[in-house]
Structure 1
C-alpha cells in the first residue's frame, strides 16, 4: 500500500552534520529527506560527536509532505489502423518498434482492381453527363422533356458519388499514420490478402490461411508526447490529495526526476479483500525523453509545501511546562538555552516563528547507527545532488506545472 513520506527541501544555504542520522528521520508518514543545491558545501562541527550531539546552522527551508504511490505509464494518444480497401499487400515500409510521423505510409496494397473500378465509374459518369447534355439541348419545354432531364441529372449525381467512392478506395490502398509515435504492432507482410473492413489472409506458397488483422488488432501507434498514470490510494491518503497537486515521478529507466499534476480523483472507492482504494489519475508534464507505454513509475504526490520556513530538527527542541527551548552555540562555542516559539511540525522538523535567526547554530541530539548503516545515514542526511528547483525547469526532463497546489499552505 502506498506510504506517506515527507521531504525537507533546500530553499537557501544550509549546513548540516555528516556521519549521523537525525533521530526519528525515518518515521512513517513523517519521514523527511534533505535537499540542497549541488554547489553548496556541507559543513559539520564534530566537536560534540562523542556526546551524541551535533551543531547545525539554522536556515530557511522548504518543507514538504507527500503521498507515495506507484503505477504504469499509459499513452494519452493511441491509434489503431487497418486497410479499408481490398487487395494484396505489395509493400511494407514500417515494422513494430519503428517511430513514425503523422502522414508516413506504413504499407500498400495493389491497385489493379481499384484502378479498374475507378476507370469504370468515370466512364459511366461521362456517358451520363453526355446524355444529360443532349437532353438539355433538345429541351422543348414540355413536361416530358423536363422529366427526362430531371432523371438524367439524378443519374449523374449517383455516378458522381460512385467516382468519389472509387477515388477514396484508391486512397485506402495506402495505410497512413494518423499520429506521430512508436509502432507497437504491425501484422502485415507482403503477399497478405486483405479485404475491406480489416480481414486478411496469407498468400504465401499459393495457400490461403485466414488471419485476423481487424482494426482492433492491426497496426497500433502509441503517441510519445503525453502520458498518464493511474494509482490507487487508501481513504486516508486520498483525503490529503486534491486535483492540481504537483507530482514528482521517478522510474528505473529514466535518469533523474520528471514531474506532473493530479488530474482526477475517483468519487467512489474500489473494494478488494475488504480494503477500499480510490483511483487517482496523474498526468506527466513537459517533454520527457525515454518514456514508454507500460513503464513502471513511482509518484510522490506533494500534499503540502511550506516555502522559506525557518525550521529546525524537532529533536533540537526541549519542551517543559509548555515552554520550548533550543541550545544556541555562539561564535566562542558557548552554549545558551533560548526560548523559541514554534509553528507547524512537519515530519521530524518544526517551524520556528520567534526566538531564532537564520545563520545561528544550535545543538541537535543525534542517533548514529553503526557500520554500513551509519555510512548510509551520513549520505542520506547530507547533500542530495541538487535542490528541488523553484524556477520551473528540472534536471532529467519534464517541468513542474504552474499554478496552485490545491490550496496547499504556503502557496
Structure 2
C-alpha cells in the first residue's frame, strides 16, 4: 500500500500544545496507515492510543535497529555501531541488561537524589538572579540544569562538560551527516570507555562506579555494555529534559492562573508535570519498531520486515482517552500518558525525570514569581524534530 499523498514523517508541529492536524485526520480515517520517510522508504504509522499500547507490549515487534526494515528519519541509513544501546535490545538480552541497572532508579534512590537536584537548581537560579533581569531560559537554565544532573550522576569531570554537550548535540541532530554522526558516536563512546576504565581503578560516588562494583561482584561486568548505558542515560536525561523544561515553563507562562495555583499549593505540581508530559510528548519519534512476523492490526496486515512508527504524541491527544486533549489542564488525571513509552522499554529514568521537573517548577515559582515572556508568544522559536528533540530554541523571559 502506498503512502497517503503528500504525507511523510516527520510532520512539523504548528502549535506546541497540539500535534499536527494530520494526526487527527489519520486517527479518524486510517489509524494504521503507510507514510513516507525522509530516506524514501515507507513505514506503518499508528495514531490511536490503544493500538500503540498494544504494539509496545507485543514481542513480534523488534527494537533492533540492525534488522532490515527498521525505520529511520535520516536521509541515509545509520552505520551499524559496535555498542548497542539498551533501547535497541530485544528479549532476553534487554531484560537481563535492564535488571543490572534498575536498582539505580528505585523510589528510595530517587528520593535520595532530591537534595542533589535541588542544589543544582538553586545554584543555577542564584547565578541567574545575580545577572540581568532578562535571560534566555533555555540557554541559562533548561540546558545546564539537566546536563549537570546527568554529569553528576555519571561522574563526568567539569572540565569536560562543554565538549561533551556539544558532541552530544551533533550525535542526536537529524541535520548531522552520517559521517559526522559516526565521528560523534565514536568520540563520546571512546571518552566514556576511558572514563569507566579510570573508575575501575578509582571509584567515586556515582552510578558508573556503583555499576562497576555491582556487576563485577555478580560476574557480569561488561565495560562495553556500561559505555552504552552511560551514553543512553545522558541523551535521555539531558536533551529530553531540556525540551520538557522549556515547554513546561512556556505552558505555565501562557496559563498564569494555573501557575498561580501551583505556586500557592505545591501538592499540585506532580499533576502539572504529568499534564506537561502528556501535552508535549516530545520524544514521539523514538517509538519505532520492525515486525518479525506478520501481524494484523486495525484491519491491516503488517508483514515481517516492515517498519512501524508509534506516534505517541498522537496517542496522548487521542480524545477517546483524554477528553479535550489540546487543552492544558493541570487537574487532568494524565498519568496514563505515553510520554515515557510503555511496556518493557518504558523509560528507565522516568522517576528521576519526574523528580527533576517537580523540583524545577516549584523552584522557578518560588524564586522567580514575577517571570513573564519577554517577547510575544507568537514570536517564540521552536526546535524542529530534525534538530533532535522538540522544544523551544530559546525562551526570552524577564521578571
TM over 0.5: no
Which TM-score bucket, shorter chain as reference? under 0.3
Task: Give me the TM-score of the superposition, normalised by structure 1.
Answer: 0.18
The higher radius of gyration belongs to 1
Greater percentage in strand: 1
Which structure: greater helix fraction? 2
